Structure 1
Amino acid sequence: MPWSQARHPLSRRGFLLAGAGAGAALALAPAPARATGGRRPFGRYGSPAARLTPGTLYVDPHGRGDFTSVQAAVSAATGTGRTLVLAPGVYRETVAVDATRTEATWIGASEEPRDVVIVYDNAAGTPKPGGGTYGTTGSATTTVQAAGFTARWITFANDWLRADHPGVAGTQAVAIKVQGDRSAFHHCRFLGHQDTLYADSMALTVFARQYYAHCYVEGDVDFVFGRATAVYEHCHFRTLNRADLTTAPHGFVFAPSTAGANPRGYLVVRSRISSEAPDAYYKLARPWVPSSDPTARPMLTVRDTWMGPGIDAVAPYATMSAGFPWQDQRFAEYRNTGPGARITVPENRPQLTATEARSATRVAHLGDWTPWKGTR
């Protein structure tokens, strides 16, 4: 899975995020310049002197909160139900939320995800202190294992670039790995190239439910992947141009690795897929059957979604590993629109029937869990 040489949306010389613009439908146009040196870096979410809740911790890189780093606040927020309010700024660090810190909530104080950026630049092949390399999982800028995690108005990013590390072979670079059940992200952004958003679970037998609403995700190779039961609703997926490749395919949007016993994999509904790359240079998906679970049967349903011309309409799916053809997996579409959704070769685009579509819904995927549905 080669790495893109393209321009990354995060400039490490100032963190200019304008290159990662989502469409107007998601209200993610570049945020106007705003001062962060005023007296109210936490907006309507209070301050350390007047806390949102008694358990709220405030994080501000300029020193006006309880902590200057997200990880320091996470380490202090023991127990369950703790809230972190993040002031505008760039938090260059890795962050891990272990399984004991359940029901946590992170809030971007400005209610604009471009203002609050958690970013680092490890890749799978990056050498670790003391020997070895990080591997795909270890490359994650943010790792969330706890159940009941919610994030709103935050950017999670990995700005590792192969061009900066020509000798590194392991080019997977995860922005966030989410493993907890009942994990919800609202109005968040996920920026990277290869393996940007790792929507997974804690074990093969655990079917972690996750919900992504009004989010923006970009990358090139398998940039939404893993074995979670995940719903992506009103999201924008954007494929990047690659300067290192002149022929198709440039990459793949989805690479689910759903366990064979799990009846629910990835569901994409009422979303959009756009591209910076030439027309038909991207596949919609390919199944990931990891060596650790050869019984996996990856599942992806994309419905009521607009696909731009960047998606190969003739052959939108590909096979990742020999012996596990995409045709044997659980891939399906329903009522999609746009040039990338044209059905030109019917056998290459499995479609749900109207009856089948009635069970391909957010409620069916998430069961007895109803995530927070606020629009802001």
Structure 2
Amino acid sequence: MSEPHSKPRHRRSRTALAVGVPLALTAAGTLAYGTDLGVLGSTAQQASAAAPAWAADTADGFASVNSLGQNGTYGGRDGKTVTVKTQAELEKYATATEPYVIVVAGTITMNPVGKEIKVQSDKTIVGSGTSGHIVGGGFFLGQGVHNVIIRNLTIRDSYQGVWNDKDHDFDAIQMDGAHHVWIDHNDLRHMADGLIDVRKDSTNVTVSWNKLSDNNKTFGIGWTENVKTDITIHHNWIRETEQRNPSTDNAAHAHLYNNFLEDAPGTDIKSSYGNYSRGATKMVLENSLFQGIKNPVIKDSGAAIVQRGNSFSGTSGRNESGGTAFDPKAYYPYTLDKAADLPSILKSGAGPRASIGRTAASTKAAAATTLTVAKDGSGQYTTVQAAVNAVPANNPSRVVIAVKPGTYRETVKVPSNKPHVTIRGTGSSRKDTTIVYNNASGTPKPGGGTYGTGGSATVAVEADDFQARNLTISNDFDEAKNQSLNGHQAVALRTAADKVFLDGIIVSGDQDTLLLDTAAKDRLGRVYVSNSYVIGNVDFIFGRATAVVDKSVITLKKRWNGTSAGYITAPSTAANRKGILIANSTVNGDVSAGSFYLGRPWHAGGDASLDPQTTVRNTDLSAAIKSTPWTDMSGFSWKDDRFAEYKNRGAGAGAQSTNRPHLTDAQAANQEVADWLAGWTPSAS
């Protein structure tokens, strides 16, 4: 951007973010890079080794109860384990009469859109780590289908552009008359109709540890006059959904516990109701948290709801209970978590897990997929881009590109069809391995035209689940020698992807150093920068991504002519998304006191619908920061957007005022690192 223009019981993990040891941040004005090292971590294939431990997991809740001739729910554990990468392979095994454990390794896009594969009995369908995605379709379990596990998958994006879609019955998971089904640790979102439909006397169903989001109709139960369904719903994070959260119609026994229903303020999707007990349903609702939900608990006159231990925050409208229900412990054992603990428990524990769905073959292959780069020819490749080119398209698992010490003068692009790539320097310090180039926005391209700001990047990342570790990425464009050039923006690193983890690196430049973008305006792009250094002077952390700079050093540098003046952030956040969060960090540099702003609002292309956001909290600010740290940009006032501080310290910190807004404690509680990451737990690979 330009400058003045302008097992039965599956517990959640309590593991903290695996982001390494925090830097020993130095005093203001000092820059030390440290010597910390990074940590490494076709056709359907039948597993030749013994089945992995997770394949023996069995359901809890009502799916564990013996009935209808079925003893619990264990899926395809008695059959072969197969790995699939295409729709044809998935259909072949899911519709077979024999039991199978089917591992989905990679992204499968359904053709036609809305396709629901008709799953037969005795199947486990599981994503390989976090790589198993079903796009534009889902699964259907028909009458009498039983003993099915659908686990650890992301099922998404059959949405056809109509919010209350009456024409496209495209569900993530639909069952009509099925029994003994376990839906566990999935991420279900953005479908044309329901995320989960449990219909027509389906029973002995457990839905646990899932993320359900970005949808109108979330979770419907019923569509029958009979009162037969037994269902357990626990430890699910339901957020940014409108209705059926769930709606439970004529269920004989509905046990809902430890679910977190969240309607965040300022978003487009508004809840119309939360848990609904309809018809003759008997519902027990325990230790769940309702945050910002309208009509959090409602019931029909003939239905029953027994509430125990639930918590309500910022809710409004109906909150009902009454009647007699049942004792869930008469059917199965369970343990309750405290409602107040659910945000931290579910933001870190719901959804697909890296530890589930890994076979011995995939683990061995992942461990073996390391490509080496060395300028002196001692590696497999002499350039980083050559190693990226060698990564197969749509690779289902992590590929580590290990780069030996040296200076690699090249541009690097990781395209969107090459996810799960790590570029890691192998030296003893992040300074030992440097990728550098000197394109600027106005630099002429060989084929005509200029690169533009985004095109000037030394390293461009368009693939999800990317990591960079233990290296330096730099743009050394020389402004002093190129004053005649029109366009001095010179990006070192551009990201336009989701789940980007930058750990223990240096990103260095002048204007527009670090561009944190998304693949499209309506796409989420989360970036987590940790234990790193970002260096620049004008708008040098900018873009529309949902980005966290945590436990890092932001170093301010003088401009090409020796003057001190600049802006740290220039967010161009879309409305209803989170922007840039700087937390637990240090801002320093050899520049004049009171010469730098914390940020200004970038309404890219003059787009007034944007709502730029920067929050700086718990950070040490040097004297370089202005006493009025925010400013306008290109005719847009920062006061109309979202700029705030919280509990900063140092010579550059200041008290609350109309020109220096601070978050309240209550506001700050919703602007933590975990809120930005939204269920993603970055870990080094």
Could you give the per-residue CA deviations for residues 35-54 of structure 1, whole angstroms, max 9, x where no partner exists?
xxxxxxx99979xxxx9932
Give the match for residue 571 of structure 2. Answer: 256
Pick one of 597, 603, 619 that aligns with 1:283: 597
Call closer, same or farther: CA 1:373–1:341 in 2, change over 3 Å: farther
Aligned equivalents of 1:111, 1:77: Cα separation in 2: 26
Could you give the per-residue CA deviations for residues 301-333 of structure 1, whole angstroms, max 9, x where no partner exists?
1110010001112x11111111x2000110111
Pick one of 503, 512, 519 that aligns with 1:202: 519
1:305 and 2:619 correspond = yes
Task: Map residues 33-182 of structure 1 onto 2, 5 A cutoff.
Answer: 53-78=367-392, 79-80=395-396, 81-182=398-499
Call closer, same or farther: CA 1:86–1:193 in 2, change over 3 Å: same
Could you give the per-residue CA deviations for residues 83-107 of structure 1, whole angstroms, max 9, x where no partner exists?
1101001010000000011111121
The answer to whether the 8 A contact 2:33-2:533 is kept is: no
How many Å apart are 1:111 and its aligned residue? Answer: 4.4
**Structure 1: stretches of 5+ with no match in the other structure:** 4-21, 33-41
Task: Map residues 350-369 of structure 1 onto 2, 5 A cutoff.
Answer: 350-369=661-680
The answer to whether the 8 A contact 1:87-1:108 is kept is: yes
Aligned equivalents of 1:280, 1:293: Cα separation in 2: 30
1:29 and 2:32 correspond = yes
Provide runs of 4+ in structure 1 moved above 4 Å: 25-28, 42-46
Counterpart amino acid of residue 102 in structure 1: P
The answer to whether the 8 A contact 2:601-2:641 is kept is: yes
The answer to whether the 8 A contact 2:33-2:430 is kept is: no
Indicate the SS of the match to 1:365: helix
Please identify the structure whose Cα radius of gyration is greater. 2
Aligned equivalents of 2:548, 2:33: Cα separation in 1: 26
Aligned equivalents of 2:461, 2:488: Cα separation in 1: 21
Aligned equivalents of 2:492, 2:404: Cα separation in 1: 20
Call closer, same or farther: CA 1:68–1:173 in 2, change over 3 Å: same
The answer to whether the 8 A contact 2:442-2:450 is kept is: yes
Could you give the per-residue CA deviations for residues 169-200 of structure 1, whole angstroms, max 9, x where no partner exists?
20000001011100001111100000000011
Aligned equivalents of 2:637, 2:447: Cα separation in 1: 40
How many Å apart are 1:23 and its aligned residue? Answer: 4.8
The answer to whether the 8 A contact 1:210-1:230 is kept is: yes
How many Å apart are 1:77 and its aligned residue? Answer: 1.1
1:328 and 2:640 correspond = yes
The answer to whether the 8 A contact 1:84-1:106 is kept is: yes
Aligned equivalents of 1:52, 1:43: Cα separation in 2: 17
Give the match for residue 190 of structure 1. Answer: 507
How many Å apart are 1:294 and its aligned residue? Answer: 2.8
Call closer, same or farther: CA 1:129–1:278 in 2, change over 3 Å: same
Could you give the per-residue CA deviations for residues 215-270 of structure 1, whole angstroms, max 9, x where no partner exists?
10010100000000011110111111235265x6x1100001100131x1111110
| TM value normalised by structure 1 | 0.84
Call closer, same or farther: CA 1:169–1:218 in 2, change over 3 Å: same
Give the match for residue 11 of structure 1. Answer: none
Counterpart amino acid of residue 370 in structure 1: T
How many Å apart are 1:144 and its aligned residue? Answer: 0.2
Counterpart amino acid of residue 374 in structure 2: D
The answer to whether the 8 A contact 1:44-1:109 is kept is: no
The answer to whether the 8 A contact 1:45-1:109 is kept is: no
Give the match for residue 8 of structure 1. Answer: none
Aligned equivalents of 2:589, 2:31: Cα separation in 1: 16
Call closer, same or farther: CA 1:308–1:106 in 2, change over 3 Å: same
Call closer, same or farther: CA 1:64–1:245 in 2, change over 3 Å: closer
Counterpart amino acid of residue 358 in structure 1: A
The answer to whether the 8 A contact 1:173-1:192 is kept is: yes
Call closer, same or farther: CA 1:147–1:359 in 2, change over 3 Å: same
Counterpart amino acid of residue 205 in structure 1: D
Aligned equivalents of 1:319, 1:31: Cα separation in 2: 36
Aligned equivalents of 1:348, 1:189: Cα separation in 2: 32
The answer to whether the 8 A contact 1:45-1:85 is kept is: no
Call closer, same or farther: CA 1:44–1:143 in 2, change over 3 Å: closer
Aligned equivalents of 1:65, 1:370: Cα separation in 2: 32
Task: Map residues 258-277 of structure 1 onto 2, 5 A cutoff.
Answer: 258-262=573-577, 264-277=578-591
Aligned equivalents of 1:318, 1:296: Cα separation in 2: 16
Indicate the SS of the match to 2:658: helix
Higher RCO (C-alpha 8 Å, min separation 6)? 1
Aligned residues: 337
Could you give the per-residue CA deviations for residues 139-159 of structure 1, whole angstroms, max 9, x where no partner exists?
000000000001110111000
Counterpart amino acid of residue 666 in structure 2: T
